[in-house]
Amino acid sequence: MPPLNLHELTHEQLRVQLVRWGFSSVHTKVLWNQLYLGLAASFAEMTGIPARLQRHLEAHATIGVPPTVRETASRDGFTHKYLLGLTDGREVETVLMRYSGRVTACVSSQVGCAMGCVFCATGQMGFTRHLTAGEIVSQAVHVARALRDSGARNPDSASPKLDPTRDPDAQAMPPPASPTSHAIRDMLGKAPEATAESKCHLLDDIPPVAAPAKRQLLDDIPAEPVGGRLRNVVLMGMGEPLHNYDEVLRAVDIMRHPAGLSLGHEQITLSTVGVVPGILRLAAEKRPVHLAVSLHAATQAGRVALVPVAKKWPLDELIAACRTYSTATGRRIFYEWTLIEGQNDSEADARAVGHLLKGLPAQVNLIPLNPTSGYAGAPSRSEAAKRFQRILRDEFKLPSTVRQRRGIDIAAGCGQLAVVG
Ligand code: SF4
């Protein structure tokens, strides 16, 4: 029997496994702590467990330590991408993103993806296999270890220092305008929940309608070390999480456990392109995660052109499922909209979104298209994004953000993750 990767087990499953091996369940707590607080990479470095148990674990178990095949860092230093090796020789990409006051891991749920979104590098590579819960958890632990180790090597370099002359976001800022992002949020009606990270690194909301002053944007970028603790996990890397429901949700349970990584329901975001059965199951089970739904078009024909899987789960069924989810959970959904010049960024498109989401607890996250080799579309211009957002706000009272583009220079942005070869 192959050794058991302990990252595959929930806290309760670990307790049962210890008993099955003939050990007392009292060791569960310390073992769990070593895995998720100590971030142990080997049993030899664990303290506080009996030598007999340690020997047994060495012989019959493993800890998920995916080898780093390649690590790349963005020029601004805020984004790191890891190509991680899996035990069967496959590989996945995981991204570490630093924001003001928090660090986020963008983890993959599959090797490749079966959904085939035309603008997405993962979709372009096709589907290979689902990841196990342990392989998903191990990515988050990998990022947590990277944070710990970078802080240990040089406490002052736990987060890059801000150099506005090098930061693409700062250079791209429009001239100062009056209201702060918080004021705008208040104007629009405060969101029922804390801001969640939306697919691929958006999460730092920049309201382009009333653009933040440069100073405000700079505040959004860490000028000081933000500490070494992983604060958020977004299941927005390679793969469609709801196509791999059971393993993804078991990984969520492991990452949420309060004696370990201890991620709260507002710290885990799961993104789907519209797998209706999965959304309905999340609603029925009231799973404690943020949900982001990638919409990209507000008509069935428009969606099918960008998201082929919309043929299977049409737009009206998707919106009905979203309504069910919000009603059952009381949660707002983040609707993702990749802005493609000339394709879905017109005033008519904005109004179509507004009508589609009318009455739903919603926030729209606008994501200027990131380049991939397999799709010729171009990102919308910032004026188009502002116009889009203005219509959502003024005509439909819909809050929205435009996602900061992070890690584009290392192909770590939304829709850019892929394993080549
Ligand atoms: S956008 Fe998401 S669901 Fe669509 S192909 Fe890419 S990884 Fe899959």
pLDDT in tens, 114-150: 999 999 999 999 999 999 999 999 999 999 999 998 8
Identify the residue with better confidence: 192 or 138.
138
Taking alpha carbons only, the member of 321, 311, 399 closest to residue 353 is: 399
Q: How many CB atoms lie within 10 A of CB 109?
A: 28
Q: What atom in ligand 1 is closest to the CA of residue 123?
A: 5
Check if 415 has its Cβ closer than 6 Å to any atom of ligand 1: yes
- DSSP annotation of 126 reads -
Residue 225 has pLDDT above 60, yes or no: no
**More confident: 226 or 92:** 92
Does the structure show a pLDDT above 50 at 206? no
3-state secondary structure of 68: strand
- CATH number attached to the domain at 66-421: 3.20.20.70
pLDDT at 153: 59
User: To 10 degrees, the CA torsion angle through 303, 193, 131, 93?
Assistant: 80
Q: Among residues 8, 91, 93, 240, which one is catalytic?
A: 93
CA dist., res. 60 & res. 405, Å (int): 44
Q: Average pLDDT in the 361-389 region?
A: 94
Q: Which of 151-160, 286-295, 379-388 has the lowest mean pLDDT?
A: 151-160
Which atom of ligand 1 is found nearest the CA of 414? 1
User: How confident is the model at residue 386, as a pLDDT?
Assistant: 96
- Taking alpha carbons only, the member of 365, 347, 377, 364 closest to residue 404 is 365
Domain(s) labelled CATH 3.20.20.70 in the chain stretch across 66-421
Decide whether any atom of ligand 1 lies within 6 Å of the 115 Cβ: yes
Q: Which atom of ligand 1 is nearest to the CA of 237?
A: 7
The sign of the torsion formed by the CA atoms of 412, 418, 419, 421 equals negative
Q: How confident is the model at residue 339 (pLDDT cuts 50, 70, 90)?
A: very high
Task: Return the CATH number of the domain spanning residue range 4-62.
Answer: 1.10.150.530
For ligand 1, say whether the CB of 121 is within 6 Å of any of its atoms: no
pLDDT level of residue 152 (50, 70, 90 thresholds): low
For ligand 1, mutation pick of 122, 131, 414, 416 (most atoms within 8 Å of CB): 122
Please say if the pLDDT value at position 177 is more than 70.
Answer: no
Distance from Cα 288 to the centre of ligand 1, integer Å: 22
414 given a catalytic annotation: yes
Question: 398 in ligand 1 pocket by Cβ < 6 Å?
Answer: no
Residues of the chain with CATH 1.10.150.530: 4-62
Mean of all residue pLDDT scores within the chain: 83
Residue 361 near residue 332 (C-beta atoms within 8 A) = yes
Per the annotation, the verdict on 93 as an active-site residue is yes
Note the pLDDT of residue 290: 95
Does ligand 1 come within 6 angstroms of the Cβ of 113? yes
